[in-house]
Amino acid sequence: MLYWILYPLRESVSIFNLFGYITFRAAGATVTAMIIAFAAGPFVIRFLKKHQIGQTVRDDGPQSHLKKEGTPTMGGLLILLSVLIPVLLWGMLDNRYLLVVLISTIWMGLIGLLDDYLKVVRHCSKGLIGRYKLAGQFTIGIALGAWLCFSPVTPGGDAPDVRLMPSVRTVDLESSEDINITSTETTVPFFKDIRLDLGLFYIVFVALVLAGTANAVNLTDGLDGLATGVSLISILTFGLMAYLLGHVNFADYLQFSYLPGVGEVSIFAGAMAGACLGFLWFNAPPASVFMGDTGSLALGGAIGSMAVVTKNEFLLFLVGGIFVVEVFSVVLQVAWFKRTGKRIFRMAPIHHHFELSGWMESKVVVRFWIIAVILGLLGLTTLKIR
């Protein structure tokens, strides 16, 4: 919105030229999201307390969690609010990639909100039935996959940032050779010349990525600040990738397929990062509010869709390694217990295993954050090590 209002006035007021730079607008979105989260956080928490929207805790889990009973949940509403407003202010809403990640985040957040509502307000212990939840997730995944699959890739969307590297060859945006990845292709980490063209299966592939990532983040949300911090790192990683791959000269320098317009996703990444930081202020141990499925599914939708639009879906296994381990710990635990009647871990997901092994909750969270940072950095290296 601000881009369309203020950028055309740059010839009269030179400072408005800043609104043409993605980096400036991403920073603005980040700060705006943080301010909204800090300002709205106390009101959201009071509202949740007033309506007795509190967390229920399993009595078979770590005993230290019993004191969390009644802590306000559905705090993901704060994340959604803190993301939506900055994106509307600082983003270019005619950019299809920005719309994909924004719609994915909001849709997944609404599914989580319905699940939280049924569990906490209507006291339905199972919340939204699993098959209905998956149906909602696959519906948005298939719809967005079809949109990406059948929408042509067109040049544009770089604004003045394209001139930041004059020493690098300027790529002809109208040349089809410079846009050398099709809508149904995806890249393979560490390999420059290997790309998989999935054809129409790409639509189903997108749905699997979105649903899988959303549910993986949901499983990770079990300790104060854990899912928020790990998600923040993944979002920043894919946000930086979006900026680099949507910038014609950086993409050319990295010898990576240029993705016209995808740099606008970094505006969303900035807003989401600011929202996560603001939410973490209230979610840090001991948490004053939990994000609930509203937040965890929204974060998963954001991360999954960012991986999709940057053509780095398989990189989720590396960058989101914490989420992958959490999911596999549950799968292994269930499969092994059904087969032998015994457990591999003290409790799944695996973060509870470490708690029951004697680690303090804060130690588990910080160590998982550290691992997530390492994985994020490794993910960024794949842009050059190919």
Instruction: Report which of residues 125 and 381 the model is more confident about.
Output: 381
Q: Residue 3 falls within a domain, yes or no?
A: no
Cα–Cα distance measured from residue 248 to residue 189, given in angstroms and rounded to the nearest whole number: 20
110-124 pLDDT tens trace: 999 999 999 888 888
Q: Residue 108 falls within a domain, yes or no?
A: yes
Cα–Cα distance measured from residue 121 to residue 132, given in angstroms and rounded to the nearest whole number: 19
13-24 pLDDT tens trace: 889 999 989 999
36-45 pLDDT tens trace: 999 999 999 9
Residue 227 pLDDT more than 60?
yes
Tell me how many domains the chain contains: 1
278-325 pLDDT tens trace: 999 999 888 899 999 999 999 999 999 999 999 999 999 999 999 999
239-256 pLDDT tens trace: 999 999 998 888 888 888
Q: Residue 198 falls within a domain, yes or no?
A: yes
Percent of the chain residues past pLDDT 70, beyond the cut: 89
80-105 pLDDT tens trace: 999 999 999 999 988 999 999 999 99
Q: Residue 11 falls within a domain, yes or no?
A: no
Instruction: Report which of residues 228 and 63 the model is more confident about.
Output: 228
Q: Residue 89 falls within a domain, yes or no?
A: yes
Q: Residue 179 falls within a domain, yes or no?
A: yes
φ, ψ for residue 254, nearest 5 deg: -80, -5
Cα–Cα distance measured from residue 304 to residue 288, given in angstroms and rounded to the nearest whole number: 27
Model-level pTM? 0.91
Cα–Cα distance measured from residue 333 to residue 152, given in angstroms and rounded to the nearest whole number: 44
Can you give the pLDDT at residue 163?
39
Place of tokens 């871990």: 345
Can you give the pLDDT at residue 153?
58
158-174 pLDDT tens trace: 444 443 433 344 444 44
DSSP labels, 78-113? HHHHHHHHHHHHHS-TT-HHHHHHHHHHHHHHHHHH
Question: Which three-class secondary structure string do you get for 348-362?
Answer: CCHHHHHHHCCCCHH
Can you give the pLDDT at residue 61?
60
Residues 226-238, buried b or exposed e (16+ Cβ, 10 A)?
bbbbbbbbbbbbb
Cα–Cα distance measured from residue 38 to residue 173, given in angstroms and rounded to the nearest whole number: 41
Q: Residue 9 falls within a domain, yes or no?
A: no
Q: What is the mean pLDDT of residues 189-193?
A: 82
Q: What is the mean pLDDT of residues 223-236?
A: 95
Q: Residue 88 falls within a domain, yes or no?
A: yes
Range of the domain at 368: 19-381
